[in-house]
A and B are shown apart, each in its own frame.
Chain A
């Protein structure tokens, strides 16, 4: 103890933490819960707006899921509801718009980006960061 006072102090602190606060011995659970709470409320990620699919893939790698549909025939539900605001059904031009929906997993959270074909690029028009167990 005389030779390693700092080590002794750290050990004592560690033991105190374990005995006094169960959360200290359950770090994984704590971190998982924090990650879950980060995306339990779905939020938009504006920093991805206007990025091309190639730019996104360069940063995030390959998407874990992809689906292409058009606004005329594709399913429009709560999850994709923002697309209908951007491209209203009442606007005839909306009907021909192609959308590419791609998602990337990040632990318990999912980043979904919606791309619209513009000239030769797919460009992000909507974003959502959400918990993988979300029901919409």
Chain B
């Protein structure tokens, strides 16, 4: 076979049917903003920001999940034992983007709120989003470390309130007590964090159903 590719408004999914590997890529078109008092972005700073973001996302999300596959397709039969690996990646573009990403340069130690809006495909980040944050939630309060950019990417990967699976720390969330979770206040992935991706994968090859087999 070769490759089965699905192009979505929020990512491209490339399924290598021979190797049993999935490559999900989002194209990010940056706007470079700065807080009052901050110098203009240099080309090197822009490149560095993208590379660091790419690196943190790759580290947090790629090669973490192994997907199981069942069904009557030749693809399923070939990979039912080994499972399928998945990598998630971002690519910097200046046109034909999936996401418009506003990045604000702020002073070290300063704070700006980062967020993702699924329907308009806008991501807002800042230059302190690589710094480990201590987030707290729950009663009694539990605090966990989190890299903001990895958490925000999780929203852009389909963990969004729009699809009924947004932030997990609100008391109304079914997973409010899972503080270690990446979409709560922690940094660990869970099977459910791949649900939107699985929903798409399950439309790509007839008679083939994907699920998360394991997460490391």
A residues apposed to B, CB below 8 Å: 36-37, 40-42, 72-79, 81-82, 84-85, 89, 128, 130-131, 133-136
Residue of A nearest to B110 (CB): A85
**Which of B136, B148, B167 is close to A135, meaning CB atoms less than 8 Å apart?**
B167
**Which of A36, A74, A130 is close to B120, meaning CB atoms less than 8 Å apart?**
A36
**Which of A76, A128, A135, A136 is close to B118, meaning CB atoms less than 8 Å apart?**
A135
**Which of B102, B137, B159 is close to A77, meaning CB atoms less than 8 Å apart?**
B137
Contact in complex: A134, B116 (CB < 8 Å): yes
Chain A residues near B135 (CB-CB < 8 A):
76-78
Count of A-B contacts judged by CB separation below 8 Å: 81
Instruction: Report the minimal beta-carbon distance from A65 to chain B, rounded to whole angstroms.
Output: 11
Instruction: Report the minimal beta-carbon distance from B185 to chain A, rounded to whole angstroms.
Output: 6
**Contact residues of B between 86 and 140, Cβ < 8 Å to A:** 102, 110-111, 113-120, 122, 124, 133-140
Chain B residues near A36 (CB-CB < 8 A):
117, 119-120
Kindly state the interface size class of chain B when it binds its partner.
Answer: 20 to 34
Contact in complex: B113, A42 (CB < 8 Å): yes
Instruction: Report the minimal beta-carbon distance from B181 to chain A, rounded to whole angstroms.
Output: 13
Contact in complex: A41, B169 (CB < 8 Å): no
B residues apposed to A, CB below 8 Å: 102, 110-111, 113-120, 122, 124, 133-141, 148, 151-152, 155, 159-162, 166-167, 169, 185
In the assembled complex, 27 residue pairs joining A and B whose CB atoms fall closer than 8 Å, in A order, are A36-B119, A36-B120, A40-B117, A40-B120, A41-B102, A42-B113, A73-B139, A73-B141, A74-B141, A75-B169, A75-B185, A76-B135, A77-B135, A78-B148, A81-B113, A82-B113, A84-B111, A85-B111, A130-B113, A131-B117, A133-B161, A134-B116, A134-B161, A135-B115, A135-B117, A135-B118, A136-B113
Contact in complex: B111, A133 (CB < 8 Å): no
Chain A residues near B161 (CB-CB < 8 A):
133-135
Residue of B nearest to A75 (CB): B137
**CB-based closest 8 A-B pairs:** A135-B155, A75-B137, A134-B115, A40-B122, A135-B116, A40-B117, A76-B136, A85-B111
Contact in complex: B117, A136 (CB < 8 Å): no
Contact in complex: A41, B124 (CB < 8 Å): yes
Chain A residues near B160 (CB-CB < 8 A):
133, 135
Contact in complex: B169, A77 (CB < 8 Å): yes
Chain B residues near A81 (CB-CB < 8 A):
111, 113, 133
* CA of A128 to CA of B112, assembled, Å: 11
* CA of A81 to CA of B133, assembled, Å: 10
Contact in complex: B159, A42 (CB < 8 Å): no
Given contacts A41-B124, A135-B159, contact A77 B118 (CB under 8 A): no
Chain B residues near A73 (CB-CB < 8 A):
139-141
